[in-house]
Amino acid sequence: MKREEIETLLQSQRIDSQLPLHFDSTDFTLTALEGDCAKCQKSIEPQNFRGHINTHFKDIAIFRAIGICHQCRTLTPFIIRIRADGRFETMINNSWRQGQMFSRRTWRQRIASVFCWRPRKQKG
């Protein structure tokens, strides 16, 4: 994610103010998003995500968000496509990687695990 986009997302609304998000076709309601800091691995509170959710397309939501870690003052970018049927893709190193959410967990946990799946920050 480019620096200009990060700065724009930081000035956007909090992600939690844009939730819940409902998919009519599957009756899936996304209530919260959580994630881990790319640097210190501590969890980023849901209220510390800023960005936007593109709901222009049917049965797919595209998140572009920045997680703000107040403990180590690091910004972690998240780009995720979540589909109404439980599939998701995350953007890692400029390519989309697919995943499948697991049925035993609650939706909240599923989404948390999605947001925890992020590229490791490169050393140096």
Question: Measured from the CB of residue 82, what is the shortest distance to Zn ion in angstroms?
Answer: 24
Of 75, 91, 87, the closest CA to residue 111 belongs to 87
Q: Supply the minimum distance, in Å, between the C-beta of residue 92 and Zn ion.
A: 19
Site for Zn ion in 68-87 (CB under 5 A): 69, 71-72, 74
Task: Choose between 41 and 100: whose C-beta lies nearer to Zn ion.
Answer: 41
Under the binding rule (CB under 5 A), the answer on residue 37 touching Zn ion is yes
DSSP per residue over 6-38, as a string? Answer: HHHHHTS-BGGGG--EEETTTTEEE----EE-T
40 binds Zn ion (CB under 5 A): yes
- Specify the residue for token string 């844009």: 18
